[in-house]
Amino acid sequence: MDRMIHTALNSLANLRDQRVVSAQNLANVAVPGFRRDLTNEGSAKFVTALDSLSTRALQLERGAHGFSRAAGPLDRTGDPMDLAIADRGFFFVQPPEGGEAALSRRGDLQLGPGGVLQNGAGEAMLGADLQPIILPPFRELEIDDLGQIVITPQDGAPGERALVGRLATVDPADDLDLRKTLDGRIRMADGSALPPPDQRARVLQGVREGSNVNATEEMIDSIELQRTFELNLRLIQTAREVDEAGAALLRPPGS
């Protein structure tokens, strides 16, 4: 009986973790470039008592959550400040609060204070030298598939064009262990430095990538999690009833 109850409680704890991840995904379904969070694999741990045989096995979390690298839907907006990466790869960004650089797929760009090129989250877009890109005043902006930024200066002569920077991109290997850190940004799982820019990602201008979260799939998963949660609660209630029935059988008559 003890094992049955602890198994159900362990399952409820794991379900709580999965529901948090599902809620996080649903909350970010409309965020450009958001990468769907995945639950971690977990690992089995055996609980022993006084050096005796193992009394029960519980599944526990192991490590940080992963994320899906699948590409999100592409929406052609025609806005020159909208960028997307075709298929694979990431932009390099600098968090607004400072700190280590991170990787991102978000490409809804805007100009911040001082002409700093930022995405919709306020993260500075980094150039090939891993420094924030600062744009001078311009009339037109063009970004090619290598991430090179060419502008028509605001006070330039007719037909004058200037190369003012290049967006840093990288297409990391599939076996590179990337994870989301506590601030929700993508970095190396072991805290080491990110791989250097290789400019192998293909940049699309006038296109915005949406979140790769499938809202329908997440809703179905949420319903299944709720059903499993209710099933485990019913299991605990059944264990209680069985335990009370067994205790009643052991009572002396008339007690």
β-strand 178-180 against 43-48: which pairing, if any?
A: unpaired
Q: Work out the average pLDDT over 80-103.
A: 94
- Enter the pTM of the model: 0.79
pLDDT over 90 percentage in the chain: 56
Neighbours of 101 (CB within 10 A): 19
Highest mean pLDDT among 64-68, 81-85, 222-226, 244-248: 81-85
Token reading at 59: 């599944």
Task: Give the pLDDT score at 164.
Answer: 94
Q: How many of the other CB atoms lie within 10 Å of CB of 151?
A: 21
* pLDDT tens-place string over residues 106-159: 999 999 999 999 999 999 999 999 999 999 999 999 999 999 999 999 888 888
Render 29-51 in DSSP notation, one character per residue.
TTSTTPPPEE----EEEEEESTT
The yes-or-no verdict on residue 54 having pLDDT over 60 is no
Selected residue with higher pLDDT from 233 and 127: 127
How far, CA to CA in Å, does 152 sit from each of 14, 18, 155, 163?
55, 50, 9, 9
83, β-bridge pairs: 205
Give the pLDDT band (50/70/90) at residue 67: very high
What's 114's DSSP letter? G
